[in-house]
A and B are shown apart, each in its own frame.
Chain A
Amino acid sequence: MSKTKLLPIFKKGLWENHPTFRQLLGMCPTLAVTTSALNGLSMGLAVMFVLVFSTFIVSLIRRLVPAQVRIAVYTIIIATFVTIADIFLKANFPQVSKDLGPYVPLIVVNCIILGRCEAFASKNTPLKSVIDALGISSGFLWGLMLLGSIREFFGSGSIFGITLLAKGFKPLIVMILPAGAFLVLGFLVSLINFIEKRMKKC
């Protein structure tokens, strides 16, 4: 297999098939943990870990699993890796684990992961599946970080905890409240639509 074949698979997840802005998948962590850029980064990495390993295993055993129980088997595999990620965070990054709270275990029902296992990994080789998983999760990661940075900037006047706005700045608390999450994402999705249309015209 040549490299030229793998690169497009990876790139697809970054823009064309972007999980957040295009497919509107995996919405609950996207909205819930993006109160700061750092939270977005940690959630993105956790999802990347789970996605890469689950799709790899699913792709390895794709010929062995009977069709009737494949969803159940995929779900168990995903839940296993989510638990590993959860235990790892608790042991090594207790603060991150505290900040993300119940949204780490909720990766189990993140539709991006089951969706990728079913739509891609169950039909492709392990190598392709891993590349696809890396592409999709990188796309998810930049989406989360962008959303987190915007909300942290307006809501707390900083990005990655570094204060950027002067002392006199009164933070727009609504940005880090749940309502702000919906509003910012709504505008971002519309903006991406706009950019896409512009690009097509050119």
Chain B
Amino acid sequence: MLKDLALIFISAVLTNNFVLTYFLGICPFLGVSGQMESAWGMGTAVTFVMTLSSAICWVFYHFILVKFNIIFLEYVVFILVIASLVQIVEMFIRKFSPPLYEMLGIYLPLITTNCAILGMALFMVTKKYGFIESVVFGFSAGLGFSLVLIIMAGIREELKYADVPKNFQGAGITLITAGILALIFMGFSGITS
């Protein structure tokens, strides 16, 4: 059991990283990786929401969708669960932890349309994970996302001082850097077997 969980963890963080192998969460990955500080904020917010939504989506899927045989409503229900969860989390931390809200506040609304969260919920179903496995999967996927985001932010902060050819500036060089990062992460493959 513990071995399975460790496997899920390593696989979601390193070998099957959501950003670099499944291309999930690319928009925030390109959007907020310009600065270290915002990368930390976004990473924390995503990990937090992902862990919570893995638990809640699992419960909804198994106790409502499967039970009443309405699996065809899967996508609609998942996106509603994620959107409402983001809203609730936002209201909650605004009230109870203003410093945390200051740190994560502006990233939370962006999370609803982060495909990594919905992707995680869909994978959790196709991989037939149990409750604990799903939560571990959600947490590790969020962690993997944050890891790559932070590495990318570090590189891009250095890149500001590099002499990049004019046409490559902006999106071009960011994508190419991501490609090289993906190549590096391929080095982890095989770790899980």
Partners in one complex: yes
> Contact size class for A?
35 or more
User: CB of B192 within 8 A of chain A?
Assistant: no
Closest to B115 in A: A109
Complex interface: chain B residues within 8 A of A182 (CB)? 175-176, 178-179, 182
Query: Are A186 and B172 touching (Cβ within 8 A)?
Result: yes
Interface residues in A83-107 by Cβ distance below 8 A to B read 83, 86-87, 102, 105-106
Nearest CB of A to B75, in Å: 5
User: CB of A191 within 8 A of chain B?
Assistant: yes
- Which of B72, B74, B182 is the one whose CB lies under 8 Å from A178? B182
Query: Are B80 and A76 touching (Cβ within 8 A)?
Result: yes
Mask of A55-93 contacts with B, CB within 8 angstroms, 1/0 = 000000000000000011001100110110011000000
Complex interface: chain B residues within 8 A of A165 (CB)? none
Closest to A77 in B: B76
Closest to B22 in A: A32
User: CB of A199 within 8 A of chain B?
Assistant: no
Complex interface: chain A residues within 8 A of B186 (CB)? 177, 179
A-B CB pair tally, cutoff 8 Å: 122
Q: A109-B118, A186-B173 are in contact. Are A27 and B27 (CB under 8 A)?
A: yes
Complex interface: chain A residues within 8 A of B21 (CB)? 178
Complexed CA–CA distance, A107 and B24 (Å)? 12
- Which B residues fall within an 8 A CB radius of A? 20-27, 30, 72-76, 79-80, 83, 112-115, 117-119, 122-123, 126, 165, 167-168, 170-180, 182-183, 186
- Which A residues fall within an 8 A CB radius of B? 24-25, 27-28, 31-32, 71-72, 75-76, 79-80, 82-83, 86-87, 102, 105-106, 108-111, 114, 174, 177-183, 185-187, 189-191, 193-194, 197
Task: Add 4 more A-B contacts to A75-B80, A186-B174, A193-B167 (CB < 8 A).
Answer: A28-B115, A181-B179, A182-B182, A186-B176
The 5 A-B residue pairs with the shortest CB-CB distance in the complex, in nearest-first order: A186-B175, A182-B179, A190-B172, A186-B176, A183-B179
